[in-house]
Amino acid sequence: MVGESRNDLTLEEREAIAGIFTREYYELAYFNGITFVAHLILQLFEKTGILHLLKNRYISCEETIEQLNFTPKAKYALGWMLSFLNQNGFLEAAGNKDGKRYCYNKSDDIELQAFLQKTAELDPKILSSSRLMEYVINEYPNFFSGLKKGFEILFSGDKAIFWNEYFSNDNSGYSVHNSFGALGILKWALERNNVRLLEVGAGTGSASSALIDKLKEKKLLSRISEYILSDISPVFLRIGNRAIMNRVSDDFAYSLKRLDFDKPLPAQGIQENGVDIVYGVNSLHVAKNLVASLQNIYQVIKPDGMLILSECCRANAGRLLSQEIVFNLLDNYVDVDLDEDLRPLPGFLDAAHWRRNLEAAGFKNIYAIFNTDGNYSPSIRNKVDILATVIKAEKEGG
C-alpha cells in the first residue's frame, strides 16, 4: 500500500492527511529525528565506554553488559540501541537474531548542538521532543548501572514539565497523532447522535483537546452526549481535566475516570455494552496482554459500536522507532506478553499485528489509514515509510 494512492479515501481526506504529515514533518521529525537519536546514542556509548568496546571488533549486547558491569535490566534498552544503530547504518552486525554481535568502524561525528540549532531554525516546536530525549540519554548511565529505575527517571520530582511539553499539541513531533486520531473520529464515528465516547489512556489530555477543537470547528461537538476521559494516572487525569475545561461550556457532559485497561472495565464502573466509541491515541500498545485488554474494551462497546485507535506504527514487525529510546526505560513498556504471531516486540506494533490482535479479541470490519495515504507528490510518497496509523474496529450488532 505504501507508495500508492488509495481510492477508498476521498480527495479531502487524502489532502487532510498530507496537511497533518507535512513535508516539514518528515524532514524534521522523521529523517532528522532518526539521525538525532542515533547520535545521542553514540554520545552515550562514548561516555559509558560502550563505543570503545565496539570499535573495530564485534561484541554482543550480553558481553558488553558483562564487561561494563551493567545491571541485567539494561539488556533490553541496550539491545534496542545496538539494533537501532545497525538498522540505520551506524553499526555493522554479524550473526543471527539470537546471537548478534556489533562493530563500529566509522570516524565521522556530528555536533548535536549545531544539529539542534538547524532544527530550531526550521521548526522550534519540535524541540520539546529533543529536550526530552537529551534528558533521557543523560540519565541512561544511571539506568545501566542500576542507580536509578526508569520510572524514577521519567516521572519523579518535576518531570511533569517534560510530559506536558512532549504530549502537547504545540509539539509538532507528537501532535500529528492527535490530529490523525481526530480525522478518524470525523470519518467513522459521528454519523449518529448521542454518542457516548470513552477515551482510554488519555494522558495529559492533548488528544482530547485536539478532538474537541476539531469537533467545535466542524460544529459536531453536540453529537457527543458524554465524554469519559480515563487514564490510570490521577496526575494525568487532573491535567487532562484542565485541558477539557478550557475548551467546553458548562453544559458539556464529561467525566473523569481512573481506569486500567489491563483489567475488566465493568468491574471499574464502565457499563457492559454501554459505550458507542472507545478512543485511544498511543495508549493501548503498553497493554500487558494486548488481546486481553482489547477484549476488556470490546466488552463495554455497544453492539455496532467501534474502537478507534491512533498509534505510532512500525513499517514492519521489526522496524524500530526513534521515540522508543524514551519508553524503553519503563517496565510496563518492556515487560509485556510477547507472542511471535500476535506481538513479537514490546511497545508499538505494525499494522498486520494490530489486525491480528483485534481479530483475536473479536473485532470485525477492521480498517486502517496510514500517514502514507496523503495526497503527496511522488518525491515524498516514494521515500516515506508507514510510521502512523488510525484504525477502526467494529463490534458487530447483537
Ordered DSSP codes for 192-255:
SSSEEEEESS-TTSHHHHHHHHHHHHTT-GGGEEEEEEEES-HHHHHHHHHHHHTTS-TTS-EE
Beta carbons within 10 angstroms of residue 33's beta carbon: 23
Instruction: Give the pLDDT of residue 345.
Output: 95
CA-based nearest residue to 210, from 349, 354, 390: 390
Instruction: Give the pLDDT of residue 6.
Output: 63
Cβ–Cβ under 8 Å, residues 31 and 37 = no
CA-based nearest residue to 270, from 288, 293, 297, 289: 297
Instruction: Give the pLDDT of residue 109.
Output: 59
Instruction: Give the pLDDT of residue 134.
Output: 87
44: three-class secondary structure by DSSP: helix
Beta carbons within 10 angstroms of residue 296's beta carbon: 25
The set of residues, in sequence order, having a beta carbon less than 8 Å from that of 357 and lying 6+ positions away, is 290, 291, 294, 342, 343, 349
Model confidence pLDDT, tens digit, residues 231-273: 999 888 888 888 888 888 888 999 999 999 999 999 999 999 9
Instruction: Give the pLDDT of residue 161.
Output: 79
Instruction: Give the pLDDT of residue 171.
Output: 85
> Model-level pTM?
0.92
CA-to-CA distance for 210 and 205, rounded, in angstroms?
9
Instruction: Give the pLDDT of residue 76.
Output: 96
Tell me which residues of the chain have a pLDDT lower than 50.
Answer: 1-4
Residue 256: beta bridge partners?
A: 229
Q: Which residue ranges form the domains of the chain, and what is each CATH number? A: 23-166 (no CATH), 169-394 (3.40.50.150)
Model confidence pLDDT, tens digit, residues 29-86: 777 788 888 888 998 999 999 999 999 799 999 999 999 999 999 999 999 999 999 9
Sign (positive or negative) of CA dihedral 296, 300, 303, 304: negative
C-alpha of 172 from chain center: 14
391: three-class secondary structure by DSSP: strand
Q: How many helices (H) and strands (E) does the chain have?
A: 18, 10
Instruction: Give the pLDDT of residue 285.
Output: 96
